[in-house]
Structure 1
């Protein structure tokens, strides 16, 4: 279904609309306050204080000099209700995009346009994901399901002073609900389209006056719903079964010590990403005529298995004037994903074949048969030292893993005909110090500095050379080592107790990366360290008697030696490169208000304008049928990417939610709708007509009734209610193969809290 378009007479530029809303809201709300007599007669409904740990201390979000968006409570429950993985956050927060060519197992995060399109299990990302104070470095770890979470914080801009590894773009931070002495919990069950089932719950309470616990779990399932017209099998693909569990134990024998212990596990069994051959109409970025989302024609195997287990221990000693924190984390994951990469059946030299032109078969798998991550952090923090407070610490990171890359001969029954293996060991350590100083009641200054040392040892072996690839059999090895000093300084000026201006200057660092997919190449590529300098100004204010709040920030940044990945191309080979310079600028807006006592509205908007600036940088174009619009590079078959925007970096992101409640009987009938807009994106470093993703608009709707003071609730919900169908990613080495967004899901949900 094509997206609806506005008549020309009422179209507005997206950035103009967003800024107009931001500037008009205070005046509009003030007008509403003066004219809505009915609202005056009711007790005022106000927004609660949002507390965040962006500076590793609990603070009011309005007083923190960082661009932050928080999602929690009902809004978080609503936008994840359709059974989607962590990608449900994409476009729901300003400047955040998440995509994947690996299905549910391997999300790729982008903040302010900065990310990494690399699909290799060794890929480094500039967006750090922190779950319960532990960094999740490997991209597979970043896909852990979201359940029983207190809140999600998106911290934009470099966060390298206080947060772990590789965060020059920002941090996505998840915090699980902690155990408490009070007995309680919840249960939620829903059922929807394609047998989409979600069962989620938690229970916790006290074992003794000093020990409490909380157990939470999640089960998700979707039945296969895509027919394979080649094999004639109905409902053959796109299903999954996944469960995850978390057990937490909180031990607090005294006011001076507590230990929070966490063990968690995940298991996933389902379909890998479903690639579809020649679904893009040549010369356009439209789906071909007659495209059916619930049909595919492939002759290879398609599956995905994943097992993850981990734990952490967070210990706190309160010595009065200072507190000592110890955070120990361990993660291990084992996964294998196999897919029919050519997206069709057979090949032009082995007819019949299709859909469309299939020059050769491509069926491959990638797995992590061995993985281990260990982290340790010690942090010392001052407690109420008057005008000056500080914190400092030591951080250690140790990771070892093995990546298997396998190729199969589909025409010979799927027999193995290619095998390569990568092994990498990473050790890094850091020391950091930060502080803040109250110059007076209105002005606060903050600053921090961090020294990081990072070392990697890497080997790659091609054990079986697939057809049409170099015949090298053996081992290649390399290593990297680098250090850096990251820093940030900021100032917050409180105009009054409701309004704060802030300014921030921050430097970030990403350690060198290594790429060695020897299945179809003979070389190891490395990317040197990248650094980013970010500048940011903003205002955060509450108004309309605490019934509305707004945060608006503008930023620009410069990345030197940006790490990029030339993915695919005619040789189907991943290659790391450094762009001499990348520039970006834009704004972020978060708005939330009770427009009436019963109507809560949120609006988010962002502009991210990115540009690669390197006249010498060229990459290989697609290998099958696309129209590259970049100028030719110095080497035949390559194209200059100087001036291009970053891949998967939408210029515009908007999101809107509205909730209206009507008291009814002993409860409340409510209506909740949410909408997200993600602008046009390029799938690859080069610009092409076909591999340009169209703007994507998806909406959600929920109608529910709650009673017993909100402890019981039943609702019907819909995700992607406008049933938008569009290509969200591509495979470029063979033909015009792509994959599409999630289908419309409609379901029924019941929740109880106790």
Structure 2
């Protein structure tokens, strides 16, 4: 019986059960045809060189173009990757605009536009530091690489948890491209396409574009400013030019994104007291709110990736520029009115809360110079310099939902200049026929100058004042050592120890800070440092009909940066936890069970724990049941898991194809992702502990002309599972929910 049809099957046993179904090598050999299906080698750039994924001593998952097409069906944003590879979780309280990444349980629940994250996102070799840059749409990509564990040597600061690398499809010397159009539920339209080819003897180019839209799927039953929610209109484009000379190559990139849609929709009192289930009568297609809701975002940027080949060494230059402008406004209390008025609801609304955050001014400049050796012998190296310069201005607004027209009632501004530079070196040595050693070191200097002012006080908040200034100056030496031992031609064993750090962070959400708060309520978290140990196996099995990766890991974080969000005072405060630990495993398995059936299985276990006996955070403002000890009005969080850190993540895909004639096939593709329970906040409360989740997708298609054309029916979240995936804890039992079920039809033409 399929595990998807029986609720009795435990999801955490899913990966082991599927692995047990794999036939032995002898059975596969008996079924094999004269030309059995085999897996192509996966090339990655995790070590800044193109290598076979099986040779890299890092826990990596690579997601290729076809899988990305399937998972992204229906206009999904980058959050569709959540749970689709081991140890990866992605969530957002901003909707499509501001994804938050977690690897091995390490992440950051901070919703401030100045928040840093311990998972770095690198798009076409350029780091995307602002959280608003991390949500650039997924289209016309060659692959995505998820690198787990500290990546401090080659990718620098703010990578103690790992990195996610996006690699766009490059221009080629052949005329090629594709066009894809889809239509689905809620009047969803999705178009993407690309065309590329040679321009001259040396130049080639590629242009790609994306357009997505969906109507509002949630109706407002209150006579508020908005009639409906959760629709969006989004477009993005990328243009690349490639010059290929005798000993010089230049890849130039321009890109832009425009989003006009709905901010995250908060829903008042949808959580039943005593647990994380919906209150009776909950309807995901209806809300009653009196606040204004919208999300507007524009980002654009460019990069120049240059390479000079000098024979024994190559010189790389990577220059990047990124800019973002945004305004995101929402009804935070999730309802209408207030308890002290004649009408309010749904449930108890102690007081109204409506706010907005905007990024009126932002720019990021990065520059890297890197030398890489090309020696034919046993020893090779790379070394480089890196520069980062970011300027950012953030507007925070409060509004009076109870007054006609929802007028502004509070304004604060934050400004930060952040400069960082680094020097790094890495080397590898073939110590023996079967043993390769690698190591690297990086020195980083990071400086921040921050100022915040309350220009217009919010009701019950801090008075106008400022500027409140903070400066930080930190340096760090991080590095890694690893070894790969070839146990056979098809099996590699590896071990790695690595360190990394996150630069200090500054937070200035001042509108609701208590009058007289130190420095106006600005908080600072010092640098966090991590050391990680991992060992594993990577193997090609059954004459390359299967591929396996398995890793055991353990990490310790000193002074981990955490954010105490919300609470009864509705403030956000940066803190450092004395120590955090994590341990577990990751499994990646891909196999042809028959020549027509390709299955992938991923599984991970992440056990995280905060270790700080003296650390306390403000508990919820009302309605929830805090199970941690309360000392002096603060919940002691020692021993708690990290927020948004599921212990178990499992995923599965299966593709079965039947040939219908020369160059044509009928196929079925299904994918499933399981995520275990998670805490929404640092303290523990049954109301703010998200239930486990299992979402699936289905695609039935017909392809012909040797992959030139494809027509498919698809569904996402096909069981229509509805889960509370996040909460607001300062006012009432307010939460927000996952994406709804979507269905559609898609046509793709490739040339």
What TM-score range do you get, normalising by the shorter chain?
over 0.9
* Residue aligning to 1:410: 401
CA 1:432/1:25 → structure 2, altered by over 3 Å: closer, same or farther? farther
Structure-1 separation of matches of 2:499 and 2:26:
42
1:29 aligns with 2:11: no
Instruction: Indicate whether 1:75 and 2:73 are aligned.
Output: no
Which residue of 1 is the match for residue 320 of structure 2?
329
Deviations 1:438-490 (A, max 9, x none): 01120000000000000000000001111111224231001000000000000
2:259 pairs with one of 250, 262, 268? 268
CA displacement 1:673-721 (0-9 Å, x = unmatched): 0000000000000000100000010000000000000110000000000
Match of 2:683 among 670, 679, 686: 686
Query: Do structure 1's residue 460 and structure 2's residue 477 form an aligned pair?
Result: no
Q: Residues of 2 paired with 1:624 and 1:189: CA distance?
A: 47
**Which of these residues, 360, 384, 403, is aligned with residue 375 of structure 2?**
384
Pick from 107, 112, 115 the counterpart of residue 123 of structure 1: 115
CA separation in 1, counterparts of 2:463 and 2:40? Answer: 64
Match of 1:658 in 2: 654
CA 1:228–1:13 in 2, change beyond 3 Å: closer, same or farther? Answer: closer
Report the counterpart of residue 448 of structure 1 in structure 2. Answer: 440
Deviation at 1:114?
Answer: 0.2
For 2:738 and 2:401, the matched residues in 1 are separated by 27
Deviations 1:470-522 (A, max 9, x none): 22423100100000000000000001110000000000111100001111113
| Counterpart Cα distance in 2 of 1:62 and 1:622 | 47
Task: Tell me: CA distance 1:524–1:626, structure 2 relative to 1, closer, same or farther (3 Å).
Answer: same
Cα distance in 1, alignment partners of residues 11 and 177 from structure 2: 46
**How far apart are the structure 1 equivalents of 2:715 and 2:599?**
19
- The aligned runs of 1:650-729 (5 Å cut-off) are 650-666=646-662, 667-729=664-726
Q: What TM-score, normalized by structure 2, do the two folds share?
A: 0.97
- Contact 1:191–1:747, Cα closer than 8 Å, also in 2: yes
Provide Cα deviations, 1:24-45, integer angstroms capped at 9, x if missing partner: 477x3325325xx4x3335210
Q: Which residue of 2 aligns with 1:363?
A: 354
What's the offset of the Cα at 1:624?
A: 1.9
Deviation at 1:149, TM superposition (A): 0.5
Structure-2 change in CA distance of 1:585 and 1:192 (3 Å): same
d(CA) in 2 for partners of 1:4, 1:488: 41
Superposition misfits of 4+ residues, deviation over 6 angstroms: 232-235
The SS at the match of 1:690 is: helix
Structure 1 runs not aligned, ≥5 long: none
Task: Determine whether 1:213 maps to 2:194.
Answer: no
- The 2-side partners of 1:382 and 1:232 are apart by 63
Give how far 1:739 is off.
0.3
Residue 181 of structure 1, CA deviation: 1.2
1:429 aligns with 2:427: no
Aligned residue for 1:525?
Answer: 523
Specify the alignment match of 1:111 in structure 2. Answer: 103
Query: Which position in structure 2 is the counterpart of 1:183?
Result: 175
Measured on the aligned residues, the alpha-carbon RMSD in Å equals 1.5
Give, in whole Å, the separation in 1 of the partners of 2:537 and 2:74: 35
List aligned pairs for 1:143-292, cutoff 5 A.
143-231=135-223, 236-252=228-244, 254-292=245-283
Match of 2:750 in 1: 753
The 3-state SS of whatever aligns with 1:350 is coil
CA distance in 1, matches of 2:159, 2:374: 27
Quick one: distance in 1 between partners of 2:394 and 2:477?
A: 31
Task: Give the counterpart of 1:534 among 522, 532, 535.
Answer: 532
Count how many residue pairs are aligned between Structure 1 and Structure 2.
741
* CA distance 1:313–1:232, shift in 2 (3 Å): closer
Aligned 8 A contact 2:119 2:164 in 1: yes
In structure 2, distance between residues paired with 1:233 and 1:480: 42
Contact 2:225 2:291 in 1 (8 A): no
Measured in 1, the distance between the counterparts of 2:4 and 2:589 equals 25
1:485 matched to 2:482: no
CA distance in 1, matches of 2:194, 2:4: 41
State the Cα distance separating 1:13 from its structure 2 match: 7.6
Q: Work out whether residues 181 and 209 of structure 1, in 8 Å CA contact, stay in contact via their aligned partners in 2.
A: no
Check the 8 A contact 1:587/1:608 in 2, yes or no.
Answer: yes
Structure 2 residue 487 is the aligned partner of structure 1 residue 495: yes
Q: Give the alignment's TM-score, normalised by structure 1.
A: 0.97
In 2, distance between residues paired with 1:122 and 1:168? 18
Q: C-alpha displacement at 1:76, in angstroms?
A: 1.1
What displacement does 1:350 show? Answer: 1.6
Q: After the TM superposition, which of the residue ranges 230-239 and 270-279 deviates more from structure 2?
A: 230-239
Partner of 1:345: 336
**How far apart, CA to CA, are the structure 2 residues paired with 1:656 and 1:482?**
42
Counterparts of residues 500-519 of structure 1 (less than 5 Å) = 500-519=492-511
Aligned counterparts of 2:715 and 2:186: Cα–Cα separation in 1: 13
Equivalent position of 2:292 in the other structure: 301
1:590 aligned residue (566, 588, 591): 588
